[in-house]
Structure 1
Amino acid sequence: MSEQRTVTLKVTGMTCAACSNRIEKVLNKMDGVEANVNLAMEKATIKYDPSKQSVADIRAKIENLGYGVATEKVTLDIEGMTCAACASRIEKGLNRMEGVTSAAVNLATNSAVVEFTEGIASVEDILEKIKKLGYKGQIRNEEQDDAGRKEERLKRKQRQLAISIILSLPLLYTMIAHMPFHIGLPMPKLLMNPWFQFLLATPVQFYIGGPFYVGAYRALRNKSANMDVLIALGTSAAYFYSLYEAFRTIGNHEYMPRLYFETSAVLITLVVVGKYFEDLAKGRTTEAISKLLSLQAKEATVIRNGEERKVPLEEVVIGDTILVKPGEKIPVDGTVIAGASSVDESMITGESIPVDKKEGDYVIGATMNTNGVLTIRAEKVGKDTALANIIKIVEEAQGSKAPIQRMADTISGIFVSIVVGIAVVAFIIWYFFVAPGDLAKALEVAIAVLVIACPCALGLATPTSIMVGTGKGAEHGILFKGGEYLEGTHKINAVLLDKTGTVTKGKPEVTDVLQFQENMLDYAVSAESASEHPLAQAIVEYGKKQAISMKPLEHFSAITGHGIEAVIDGKSILIGTRKLMKERSVAISVHEDKMVELEKQGKTVMLIAIDGQLAGIIAVADTVKESSKEAIQTLKQMGIDVYMVTGDNKRTAEAIAKQVGIDHVYAEVLPEDKANIVEELQKQGKRVAMVGDGINDAPALAKADIGMAIGTGADVAIETADVTLVGGDLMHIPQAIELSRQTMRNIRQNLFWALFYNSVGIPVAAAGLLQPWIAGAAMAFSSVSVVTNALRLKRVKI
């Protein structure tokens, strides 16, 4: 009998004892499982027999019951990766671990994002696995100065590069001797001395080139191969053959050795040069995050015990009272408790016009207070602020993988082995058939094949473009939640827009009041005071301006999608749509013409009935956003069909649609039915982007191919959205689609170049048409060119 194991899982979605009992009962029915589910702690402690059940089986059983098993996500910095094969090996190793639900390793950022089930796997287990694979991992410390670390790393590479160049230049000069034509430059005898060349080449081979040997050893120890293997093999062949030739000169001064010390040293120098410029270029891909981080205030003026004092931002806690003077940045998210001012929110929302703020208004950290003095209460600090959320979304997106990368990962996994095979075959063919017995020439060809191959270009083709694309999106207020959404957006050919808050500003105002019974407005305002619907709030605001005296509510209930009913002073109050009135047998036909007239003006008509009699009509209008018409026109020019969905009546909806140029309208749609419309469009072969506010549009956002949510800046991390459009500007929609198209074009260019370079370069090298140092230079250039091409996205107009 196998030994029992115990695991503790955090279970989400339990609301009562019935939930925990149900889970416990079902788990205990599994063969070899003994479970105890604690509702208060939201945990399930499970003993199981691993020969009969796995943790994955138990987890699946819990999820099949409609509950979830909580996972943790950690971002790790990884040292020692040199090419796509390294990233691929770590990723495969982590994904095979029990308890790891997903792992994405990004060569461009030298990082891994790992999601795991707590209780089954731990961060320590993951770090230990990375160590066993031959690399070093550590938890990313958000407080560390990332820019400082990168700068130090670049300085270290600069020093190594300087040493490598100084030692390699004299050897590079000796290449004149290998030229097929006479140049006529003087060649000092010392430079042609094999032992002098040995002294120059050895530090380059083993000090500068040491990391290649370490990387190759790690890879081979784990039964795989990477770029380090190719470099180590190629340069070692040149170096040790030259050393062998040098030994042959001892005691035989007439012997003319064929030396390739310059080949090994120059190759390593060229690769290090390429890596240095690659790192410089990769540094520029994260400029968007650096810019976002620079927006943060460094300190805040807090009022504690009646005294003002400046403290570092890290010391601000929830509930602190903060004073913000004109020209200062608002340090954290919070609510204004005193004062009035205009706040420039452009850095977060993209809106260039400052927003007036008064007591009770919400303010966002990192925005600029322009004129008045504000006193705010801190409500979100540290990692919970809007800016921190934006940075987190961008970082996660830059570390994620796009589906198109799977092909590159597959090729990278077998690439090095194939190249080594080709090099061996090329050596055999040259040594036995093309140049029989010429070991030096056969080695030269094999070395050229090994060093021209570039798995790095293939590994960097996708992630660098994703990093630049998501960063550029963030600069324009477009937050992609991951690489797959940046890729998926370019396929969109239909956009479904929610009306309220998306096409319109979402701030309706009362425009017309028709009163058929005395005190109708008093009853309407009092009844709507209990509702949170934007139309209800518009009526309440209007009532305040009219100094309406509120009446106490005896009963209130909302009728989803139709209106409300209430009891006030013993009277039955009904407020809502035509459909609601007809269902409750309220006669409205006598005022039909007036209702139609208001609806044709794009106004929403609310009917008020008191004790079964129509008592009045209130018309409410919502202003169309300034950017709506231009955005819809741009989408049409891009070949995208635009649809609008609303719970409003058909006439009002069509009037709004006509104002902005939308041809297809779905009216009188209940919130829960919006997802059905998305499905209907998908059945027509459309790739649908649903754009809404992320609240009552959640099912439709989740159902759409791409869900785009309008973020206010205070709420950018809308869970159901794949893309968040910060600030509500509809021009972000065509910009997001265009950015996706440009990014995918850039990725395809990178992949084509990487594949074309390798498929042409390797045969040319095998044919003996390239000197090894030229092959090395081409390899270094290929990686740098891929990253440089990705950086072109920064200049693309969207």
Structure 2
Amino acid sequence: GEMLVVVINTGGSTRFSSVVSLVARAQLEERSHFQKTIIQIGNFLILITIALVTLIIMVSLFRDEDFIEIARFALVLTVAAIPVALPAVMSVTMAVGAVNLARKKAIVSKLTAIEELAGVDIFCSDKTGTLTENRMQVADPIVMDGHSQSELFQVAALASKLENNDPIELPIFHYIDKHLPDIDLSIFRQTHFTPFDPVRKRTEAEIESAEQPFTAIKGAAQVLIDMAELSDEQAATTLLLVDQLAAKGYRTLAVGKKIADAPITLIGLIPLYDPPRKDSRQVIADMRKYGVRVKMITGDHMAIAKEVGRLLGLEGEAIRSKQLSGSGSQELLALAAALTSAIYQRLNGDASHTQARHFAEDVMANVEQLYDTRLLDREFIHTHESAIIEMIEDVDLFAEVVPEDKYHIVDSLQKGGHIVAMTGDGVNDAPALKKADCGFAVSNATDAARAAADIILTAPGLSVINDAIQQARITFERMKSYATFRIAETIRIVLFMTLSIV
């Protein structure tokens, strides 16, 4: 891609550094249930052995038997009783399971992940590129009065750069190739291109043509609506269209054209959507049969998350990331701004929505200067941890999340006593993948995600995960059978030898 950048932080002060620190923190806290179980079994058998061997030694000494013979016998009995081969047998069993998983295109990078996967009861999945294809497509475009679909896509393409391979821009060129082959972009010359940035939320390109130069603009609908200086009625109608498209799971690009110093002319809206993978819904249904509850975690807008969840059969409760750990105070501030805007309009009957919004923004800016709004956050954060865990357990869809939120969700579920699996494909998923009891990196994952994951999928889609769960449970049953046999054998040897001597 291409961008203009102002560097304000480097190294440890960057967002990437916070992602790396979360991965490191998860690695320090990492200890699998398998390791804990082996330690517990070993400690239990060692304590029993020590207790009974001590009893044998005391009885033998009381009977004035030869101490050397007693010591030899006690040593042999201790070595025979302690299951020194247990970790080795367990590791070999898991290695065999890993080979079987590899045949099903799931590469195990950490053997204990097999045991963890067998006990997973909650499966958290990223949306983009995991449950969906990560391949944006154009839905039915909306053209404003006085304009045509050809003009809409022509200007949208001129406000883009094909060579950047931007996933948002590529669908525009594909749509032109398929549906509007008569559009000729060669008659225009792009003299300057300003790439998208999160602040301006639009791309701009200065275009020279045979008629007159103009600026092609595409970006967030709200931004272009404000720049177009529409009437309140036109702005409200257009925003309603955007909201309706968002409710159907679409991301909407607005496209406009600016000539000289005149206001932007809004040409139309281009809805984009990322279709779910064909097997995702069936995979989720199969997981439920195995007793695994699926939760979708995404950085996308709430409306998009709900629509994709509906398509995948995840229609449970949905929340925004702000509600996870205290940032719900922003909802109070938003409510205060809405009330301020409404009161201003009632007191000034001729005021437009835009004027009322600007007045509300000024008032809220003054409020933030006079009152430390961070105090509200602290009050929300003091919500009892068990209540937050219970809330997270009940939710199926998490929207508008950041890497720290994904980590917090997995951590909270683990504190609630759940064994959690997580899938992801990007750098932002790495902390949660490392924190999860079993982390999956999907086939198109970044190197960071693969490094943090316990199991790496080499085939597209999630269907292999159900095979992995089945194989993991078979392997775990084998391990459980051997552990049970080893415990029973140790108790038999030590207990009966002790009884025979005493």
- Aligned partner of 2:218 in structure 1 is 575
- Aligned partner of 1:675 in structure 2 is 404
For 1:1-27, what per-residue CA distance to the aligned partner results, in whole angstroms no more than 9, with x for missing partners? xxxxxxxxxxxxxx9xx98xxxxxxxx
The alpha-carbon distance between structure 1 residues 453 and 645, as it changes in their structure 2 partners (threshold 3 A), is closer
For 1:282-307, what per-residue CA distance to the aligned partner results, in whole angstroms no more than 9, with x for missing partners? xxxxxxxxxxxxxxxxxxxxxxxxxx
Q: CA deviation at 1:480?
A: 3.4
- Answer yes or no: is the 8 Å Cα contact 1:422–1:449 preserved in 2: no
- Aligned partner of 2:355 in structure 1 is none
- Answer yes or no: is the 8 Å Cα contact 2:122–2:295 preserved in 1: yes
For 1:130-169, what per-residue CA distance to the aligned partner results, in whole angstroms no more than 9, with x for missing partners? xxxxxxxxxxxxxxxxxxxxxxxxxxxxxxxxxxxxxxxx
- Aligned partner of 1:526 in structure 2 is 158
Give the AA of the match of 2:441.
A
Q: Does 1:727 align with 2:467?
A: no
Q: Does 1:540 align with 2:176?
A: no
Structure 1: distance between partners of 2:306 and 2:256: 26
Aligned counterpart for 1:502 among listed residues 116, 126, 130: 130
Q: Which has the higher strand share?
A: 1
- Aligned partner of 1:469 in structure 2 is 97
Aligned counterpart for 1:604 among listed residues 251, 254, 269: 251
Structure 1: distance between partners of 2:78 and 2:244: 79
The alpha-carbon distance between structure 1 residues 763 and 672, as it changes in their structure 2 partners (threshold 3 A), is closer
Structure 2: distance between partners of 1:429 and 1:586: 102
Alignment of 1:343-492 (within 5 A): 402-407=35-40, 449=77, 452-453=80-81, 455-490=83-118, 492=120
Q: CA deviation at 1:479?
A: 3.0
The alpha-carbon distance between structure 1 residues 591 and 461, as it changes in their structure 2 partners (threshold 3 A), is same
Q: Which has the higher helix share?
A: 2
Q: CA deviation at 1:537?
A: 1.9
Q: Does 1:707 align with 2:447?
A: no
- Aligned partner of 2:289 in structure 1 is 637
For 1:197-243, what per-residue CA distance to the aligned partner results, in whole angstroms no more than 9, with x for missing partners? xxxxxxxxxxxxxxxxxxxxxxxxxxxxxxxxxxxxxxxxxxxxxxx
Alignment of 1:37-186 (within 5 A): none
Structure 2: distance between partners of 1:553 and 1:490: 58
The alpha-carbon distance between structure 1 residues 584 and 638, as it changes in their structure 2 partners (threshold 3 A), is farther
- Aligned partner of 1:750 in structure 2 is 482
Give the AA of the match of 1:609.
G
Structure 2: distance between partners of 1:678 and 1:716: 15
Give the AA of the match of 1:465.
T
What is the SS of the residue equivalent to 1:497? strand
Q: Does 1:763 align with 2:492?
A: no
Aligned counterpart for 1:660 among listed residues 312, 336, 358: 312
The alpha-carbon distance between structure 1 residues 513 and 732, as it changes in their structure 2 partners (threshold 3 A), is same
Q: Which structure ranks higher in relative contact order (CA pairs < 8 Å, sequence separation ≥ 6)?
A: 2
Structure 2: distance between partners of 1:700 and 1:597: 32
Q: CA deviation at 1:467?
A: 1.7
For 1:35-84, what per-residue CA distance to the aligned partner results, in whole angstroms no more than 9, with x for missing partners? xxxxxxxxxxxxxxxxxxxxxxxxxxxx99x99xxxxxxxxxxxxxxxxx
Structure 1: distance between partners of 2:434 and 2:446: 21
Q: CA deviation at 1:485?
A: 3.4
Q: Does 1:552 align with 2:190?
A: yes
Greater Rg, structure 1 or structure 2? 1
Alignment of 1:246-325 (within 5 A): none
The alpha-carbon distance between structure 1 residues 464 and 561, as it changes in their structure 2 partners (threshold 3 A), is farther
What is the SS of the residue equivalent to 1:479? strand
What is the SS of the residue equivalent to 2:203? strand
The alpha-carbon distance between structure 1 residues 472 and 541, as it changes in their structure 2 partners (threshold 3 A), is same
- Answer yes or no: is the 8 Å Cα contact 2:202–2:220 preserved in 1: no
CA RMSD in angstroms comes to 4.9
Bigger CA drift: 688-697 or 668-677? 668-677
Identical-residue share of aligned pairs (%): 19
The alpha-carbon distance between structure 1 residues 738 and 657, as it changes in their structure 2 partners (threshold 3 A), is same
Structure 2: distance between partners of 1:479 and 1:562: 42
The alpha-carbon distance between structure 1 residues 553 and 628, as it changes in their structure 2 partners (threshold 3 A), is farther
- Answer yes or no: is the 8 Å Cα contact 1:416–1:455 preserved in 2: no
Tell me the TM-score normalized by structure 2: 0.59
- Answer yes or no: is the 8 Å Cα contact 1:405–1:462 preserved in 2: no
Bigger CA drift: 627-636 or 617-626? 617-626
What is the SS of the residue equivalent to 2:190? coil
Structure 2: distance between partners of 1:585 and 1:761: 86
Q: CA deviation at 1:656?
A: 2.3
Structure 1: distance between partners of 2:46 and 2:115: 23
Aligned counterpart for 1:615 among listed residues 263, 267, 287: 267
- Answer yes or no: is the 8 Å Cα contact 2:299–2:402 preserved in 1: no
Q: CA deviation at 1:754?
A: 1.4
What is the SS of the residue equivalent to 1:534? coil
The alpha-carbon distance between structure 1 residues 653 and 452, as it changes in their structure 2 partners (threshold 3 A), is closer
- Aligned partner of 1:128 in structure 2 is none
- Answer yes or no: is the 8 Å Cα contact 2:249–2:273 preserved in 1: yes
Q: Does 1:566 align with 2:234?
A: no
Structure 2: distance between partners of 1:470 and 1:605: 44
Tell me the TM-score normalized by structure 1: 0.39
For 1:765-791, what per-residue CA distance to the aligned partner results, in whole angstroms no more than 9, with x for missing partners? 34459xxxxxxxxxxxxxxxxxxxxxx
- Aligned partner of 1:692 in structure 2 is 424
Structure 1: distance between partners of 2:457 and 2:226: 39
Q: CA deviation at 1:456?
A: 3.9
- Answer yes or no: is the 8 Å Cα contact 2:52–2:495 preserved in 1: no
Give the AA of the match of 1:679.
H
- Answer yes or no: is the 8 Å Cα contact 1:478–1:725 preserved in 2: yes
- Aligned partner of 2:279 in structure 1 is 627
The alpha-carbon distance between structure 1 residues 498 and 766, as it changes in their structure 2 partners (threshold 3 A), is closer
